[in-house]
């Protein structure tokens, strides 16, 4: 009878027969019967409970990978594995479930070797319940065990923080402030034993738990890879590559309408990334200060929207791309500036701030007020003001003044607008100083519906952000906006100082900065960066997330997907479902995949006595006939153990003939069918090119199947050829 862990209640563990031990690689939070379409464990009325204890190691694949990565597989684990190998029964069930290591008791009739039980073909079901003590292990303990040294029993905080960094969480993240403060306190209590750095301390379990516990929710999420980009370090490798490609691009010219912009080195190039979960990555000149310029436009527009609502704001300014230069002396047919991203529209937005949002504030107060919004959006990172740029902007502003007067003539401004103050305010917004780091957090706040990912402060309402992003999408890159929307398909805003604020809604914000501009005023390297980004990742708004396979989706969990595939494959083999196996094969899946214990589809098909599956796997999929699981068992051993004499005979004969079969004389192309293939439509034939020998065992239909000795590469090639000719499959 099932007790505890309800999501596993319906798990049909029938392929845990005999000495099988299987790692079910279930995704976090998805270990439900529904999601995996598993059968009901209680379907077998003959279940008779016993009290044999089964140790159940519950790992996530990430956990295992991390253990490997951080060198903590440990002697104990090795010893455990070898002792299990000796015992072989009862089966040790290895479930990936929420990163927790649990023990379960077998409450069913346990698996028995062939001689002891003639009815071994019957499916066996297990009910499981968690071992209470182990279940109570909390996240802090798990983390400690993951990182602690077996020799000293202490955890190196340096290693721990480095591990945290690979997930994208920095030591300076406000969400781990308590942890860092606690570390300093412990350092002080220990009389600064480790010298000047609190981060190089080695802590025991209790101290570690006390230090991390205030921030454990975030930390556990990080190590469970539950952020929007689960494999952050591999994502950042791509960013590094794209960064390097763009660095080589030396085209473009610096803006020179004011001396401060003309003085920048054209080699400056920085990229900062911040995800909606606050995962950070930066490369290049990311601390170099520059002025916001036009990148301030979406931000002041957002404040106006937040305070006045879209109705009021858009009674003064349009939403259409102008199709004209960013500072063109032109209004739309309603005598309004075209949109808030061009100069006329941004000056108009400034007038709304001045006359409607804060009519009672002095210019100085509005400046502070605006800066405080920018700061909140950036999670308190570097936002300052460059007075030299401000003064230069004001000096070189004939066109902007012309725009102001032209709009005043056309009665564009709200009543009580003081044009001089408005113009100064506009120049001040353009002259706010920042860097890539801070701007990536601002971009991430926009990606995150107005909530700053690092401080978790709700700065803007989501509706405001939706409007801002819509306008950025259609009007954010000057006269290139149409092409940018087409090619990159993401909201962005560029500025004349070389900034490119890119928003991937619900995923991340990226800020790329490099001063050389193209003829339309966009940063050359920034544009190339965006192009390369969307050609690698399926970030374009209209990329199909399901079917487009030539791009990476960093939102998905690499190993989670792989783990699920293995589970599906093994379940298909264990249940004798040849149709499902064929589907896996036609979708290009590697049929030789094994679970954590090295058990393959062939092991499971053999142990369950599914001769058709065994034939299909060998004859059609060309899987090796002799893979060993972690106990050294071959598929034929499994078949023998469970008295499947037909399978034993077939496998032995295959092995025998494989041994004898010559390597040459393999036909150029073989059209193969087996009984298993009879379900395929008549026009579905698998054309396979091989250079090995023919099958030692002719299939029942009389066709000669490819050699079991054919290489994996050939087998992959055959699958690829099927895929090409049968895209619908």
Cα–Cα distances (Å) from 180 to 139, 203, 512, in that order, read 18, 14, 30
- Cβ at position 430, least distance to ligand GLU in Å: 4
Q: Which of 90/516 has CB closer to ligand GLU?
A: 516
DSSP reduced 3-state for 460? coil
Of residues 84, 94, 91, the one with CA closest to residue 23: 94
Least separation in angstroms between CB 393 and ligand GLU: 5
Window 62 to 121, contacts with ligand GLU (CB under 6 A): none
Nearer to ligand GLU, 238 or 328 (CB): 328
User: What does the alpha-carbon distance between residue 17 and residue 641 come to, in Å, rounded to a whole number?
Assistant: 10
Whole-number Å distance between alpha carbons of 306 and 115: 76
Distance CA 296, CA 397 (A): 17
CB of 320 to ligand GLU, least distance (A): 18
Q: Report how far residue 356's alpha carbon sits from residue 677's, in angstroms, rounded to the nearest whole number.
A: 74
If the CB atoms of residues 279 and 392 are measured against ligand GLU, the closer one turns out to be: 392
327 interacts with ligand GLU by CB under 6 A: yes
- List 325's β-bridge partners, or say none: none
Scan residues 496-525 and list those touching ligand GLU (CB under 6 A): 496
Name the residue nearer to ligand GLU (CB basis): 183 or 341.
341
Q: What is the nearest approach in angstroms of ligand GLU to the Cβ of residue 326?
A: 5
Q: Which is nearer to ligand GLU, 97 or 427 (CB)?
A: 427
Min CB(210)–ligand GLU separation in Å:
50
For residue 534, the tally of other CB atoms under 10 A from its CB is 20
Q: Which is nearer to ligand GLU, 36 or 430 (CB)?
A: 430
Question: Of 97, 104, 326, 571, which lies in the binding site for ligand GLU, with binding defined by CB under 6 A?
Answer: 326
**CA 269 to CA 500: how far, in whole Å?**
11
Closer residue to ligand GLU (CB): 354 or 699: 354
Q: How far is the CB of 299 from ligand GLU (least distance, A)?
A: 13
Site string for ligand GLU, 274-313 (x = CB under 6 A): -------------------xx-------------------
CB proximity list for 618: less than 8 A, separation 6 or greater = 602, 625, 654, 697, 705, 708
Closer CB to ligand GLU, residue 2 or residue 385?
A: 385
**Residues 338 and 382: beta-carbon distance below 8 Å:** no
Contact 630, 81 (CB under 8 A): yes
Binding mask 240-279 for ligand GLU (x = CB under 6 A): ----------------------------------------
Helices (H), 171-255: 177-189, 205-212, 216-223, 232-247
Any idea of the CA torsion for 367, 372, 377, 382, to the nearest 10 degrees?
Answer: 90
Show the tokens assigned to 657: 């003939």
- Site pattern 201..240 for ligand GLU (x: CB under 6 A): ----------------------------------------
Distance of CA 297 to the CA centre of its chain: 31
Output the smallest distance, CB 513 to ligand GLU, in A.
13
Strands (E), 13-152: 23-24, 53-54, 56-58, 93-95, 104-105
Q: How far apart are CA 212 and CA 160, in angstroms?
A: 11
Return the DSSP state at 677: G
Query: 280-284 and 383-385: which strand pairing?
Result: unpaired
Q: Which is nearer to ligand GLU, 60 or 343 (CB)?
A: 343
CB of 404 to ligand GLU, least distance (A): 11
Q: Which of residues 381-400 bind ligand GLU (CB under 6 A)?
A: 393, 400
| Residue 694 interacting with ligand GLU (CB under 6 A) | no
| Element spanning 501, H or E | strand 499-504
| Main-chain phi, psi angles of 355, to 5 degrees | -95, -30
Minimum distance of ligand GLU from residue 492's CB (angstroms): 13
Among 270, 278, 495, 706, binds ligand GLU (CB under 6 A): 495
Given 343, 386, 428, 572, the residue binding ligand GLU (CB under 6 A)? 343
State in angstroms the smallest separation of the CB of 497 from ligand GLU. Answer: 7
Other Cβ atoms closer than 10 A to 558: 17
**Nearest distance from C-beta of residue 61 to ligand GLU, angstroms:** 47
Closest to ligand GLU by CB, 126 vs 326, is 326
Secondary structure class of 424 (helix, strand, coil): helix
Can you list the positions of beta strands (E) in 32-176?
A: 53-54, 56-58, 93-95, 104-105, 155-156
What value, to the nearest 5°, has the Cα angle with vertex 335 and ends 331 and 339?
55
Q: With respect to ligand GLU, which residue has the nearer C-beta, 166 or 327? A: 327
Tell me the CA distances in angstroms from 547 to 30, 178, 489, 543, one per residue in order. Answer: 22, 43, 18, 9
Nearer to ligand GLU, 395 or 679 (CB): 395
Asked if 455 interacts with ligand GLU (CB under 6 A), we say: no
Output the CA torsion sign for 445, 450, 452, 456. negative
For residue 390, the number of C-alpha atoms closer than 13 Å in the C-beta half-sphere is: 15
Give whichever of 107 and 428 is closer to ligand GLU, judged by the CB atom: 428
> Nearer Cβ to ligand GLU, position 521 or 635?
521
Please give the residues from 475 up to 494 whose contact with ligand GLU meets the rule CB under 6 A.
Answer: none
Q: Which of 31, 54, 64, 430 binds ligand GLU (CB under 6 A)?
A: 430
> Judged by CB under 6 A, how many residues of this single chain contact ligand GLU?
10
Three-class SS state of 612: helix
Q: Which is nearer to ligand GLU, 11 or 475 (CB)?
A: 475
The footprint of ligand GLU (CB under 6 A) covers: 293-294, 326-327, 343, 393, 400, 430, 495-496
């Amino acid at each position: 009878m099932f007790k505890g862990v309800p999501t596993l209640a319906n798990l049909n563990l029938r392929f845990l027969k005999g000495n099988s031990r299987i790692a079910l690689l279930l995704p976090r939070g998805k270990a439900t019967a529904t999601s995996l379409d598993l059968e009901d464990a209680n379907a077998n009325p003959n279940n008779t409970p016993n009290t044999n204890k089964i140790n159940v190691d519950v790992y996530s694949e990430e956990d295992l990978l991390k253990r490997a990565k951080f060198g903590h597989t440990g002697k104990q684990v090795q010893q455990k594995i070898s002792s299990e190998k000796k015992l072989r029964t009862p089966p040790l069930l290895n479930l990936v479930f929420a990163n927790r290591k649990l023990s379960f008791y077998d409450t069913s009739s346990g698996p028995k070797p062939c001689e002891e039980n003639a009815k071994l073909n019957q499916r066996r079901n297990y009910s499981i319940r968690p071992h209470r003590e182990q279940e109570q292990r909390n996240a802090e303990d798990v983390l400690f065990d993951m990182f602690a040294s077996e020799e000293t029993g202490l955890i190196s905080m340096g290693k721990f923080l480095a591990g945290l960094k690979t997930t994208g969480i920095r030591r300076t993240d406000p969400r781990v402030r308590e942890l860092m403060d606690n570390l300093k306190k412990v350092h002080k209590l220990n009389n600064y034993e480790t010298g000047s750095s609190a981060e190089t301390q080695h802590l025991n379990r209790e101290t570690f738990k006390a230090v991390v516990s205030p921030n454990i929710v975030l930390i556990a999420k990080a190590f469970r890879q539950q952020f929007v980009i689960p494999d952050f370090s591999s994502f950042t490798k791509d960013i590094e590559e794209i960064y390097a490609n763009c660095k080589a691009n030396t085209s473009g010219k610096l803006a020179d309408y004011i001396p401060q912009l003309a003085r920048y080195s054209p080699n400056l190039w920085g990229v900062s990334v911040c995800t909606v979960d606050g995962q950070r990555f930066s490369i290049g000149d990311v601390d170099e200060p520059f002025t916001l310029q036009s990148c301030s436009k979406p931000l002041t527009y957002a404040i106006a929207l937040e305070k006045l609502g879209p109705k009021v704001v858009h009674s003064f300014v349009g939403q259409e791309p102008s199709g004209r230069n960013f500072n063109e002396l032109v209004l739309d047919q309603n005598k309004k500036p075209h949109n808030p991203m061009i100069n006329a529209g941004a000056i108009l937005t400034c007038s709304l701030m001045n006359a409607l949002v804060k009519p009672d504030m002095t210019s100085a107060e509005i400046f502070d007020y605006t800066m405080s919004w920018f700061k909140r959006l950036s999670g308190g990172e570097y936002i300052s003001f460059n007075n030299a740029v401000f003064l230069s902007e004001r000096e070189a502003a004939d066109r902007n003044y012309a725009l102001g007067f032209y709009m005043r003539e056309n009665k564009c401004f709200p009543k009580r607008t003081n044009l001089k103050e408005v113009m100064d305010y506009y120049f001040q917004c353009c002259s706010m100083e920042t860097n890539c780091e801070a701007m990536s957090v601002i971009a991430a706040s926009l990606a995150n519906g107005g909530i700053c990912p690092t401080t978790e402060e709700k700065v803007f309402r989501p509706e405001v952000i939706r409007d801002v992003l819509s306008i950025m999408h259609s009007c954010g890159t000057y006269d290139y906006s149409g092409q940018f929307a087409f090619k990159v398909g993401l909201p962005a805003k560029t500025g004349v100082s070389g900034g490119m604020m890119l928003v991937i809604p619900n995923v991340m914000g990226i800020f790329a900065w490099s001063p050389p501009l193209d003829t339309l005023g966009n940063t050359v390297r920034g544009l190339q960066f965006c192009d390369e980004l969307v050609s690698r990742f399926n970030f374009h708004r209209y990329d199909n997330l399901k079917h487009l396979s030539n791009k990476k989706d960093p939102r998905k969990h690499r190993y989670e997907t792989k783990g699920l595939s293995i589970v599906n494959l093994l379940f298909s083999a264990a249940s004798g479902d040849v149709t499902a196996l064929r589907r896996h094969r036609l979708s290009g899946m590697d049929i030789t995949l094994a679970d954590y214990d090295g058990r393959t589809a062939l092991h499971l098909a053999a142990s369950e006595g599914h001769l058709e599956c065994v034939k299909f796997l060998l004859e059609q999929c060309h899987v090796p006939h002799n893979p060993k699981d972690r106990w050294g068992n071959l598929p034929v051993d499994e078949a023998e153990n469970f008295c499947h004499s037909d399978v034993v005979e077939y496998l032995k004969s295959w092995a025998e003939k494989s041994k004898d079969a010559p390597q040459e004389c393999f036909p150029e192309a073989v059209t193969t069918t087996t009984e298993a293939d009879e379900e395929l439509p008549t026009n579905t034939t698998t054309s396979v090119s091989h250079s090995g020998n023919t099958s030692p065992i002719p299939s029942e239909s009389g066709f000669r199947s490819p050699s079991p000795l054919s290489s994996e590469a050939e087998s992959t090639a055959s699958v690829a050829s099927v895929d090409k000719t049968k895209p619908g499959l």
